[in-house]
A = this chain, B = another copy of it.
Amino acid sequence: MAESPAGEPREEASLALEDPIYREAVIDLLGAIAYGEISAFERLAEDAKLSPTLEDKVAIATMAATELGHVTLLRDRLADLGADPYAAMAPFREPIDLFHAHTAPSDWYEGLVKAYVGDGLAADFYREIAAYLDVRTRDLIIASLSDAGHSQFVIDRVRRAIAEDPRLGGRLALWGRRLMGEALTQAQRVAAEREPLSALLAGGVDRPGLDLAAIGRMFARITELHAARMLELGLDS
Interface residues of A (CB under 8 A from B): 35, 38, 41-42, 45-46, 48-49, 53-55, 57-58, 61-62, 64-65, 68-69, 71-72, 75, 86, 89-90, 93
Contacts and interface: CB of A to CB of B under 8 A. Distances in A.
Contacts of A46: 45
Q: Chain A contact residues: over half helix, strand or loop, or mixed?
A: helix
Most B C-beta atoms less than 10 A away, residue of A41, A72, A89: A41
Nearest to A85: B55
A69 B69 CA distance: 10
Number of copies: 2
Contact of A55 (B54, B62, B86): B86
Contacts of A58: 38, 68, 71, 75
A39 to B, nearest CB: 10
Nearest to A84: B55
Contact of A90 (B41, B54, B57, B86): B54
Contacts of A54: 35, 38, 86, 89-90, 93
Contacts of A53: 86
Contacts of A68: 58, 61-62, 64-65
A42 B71 CA distance: 19
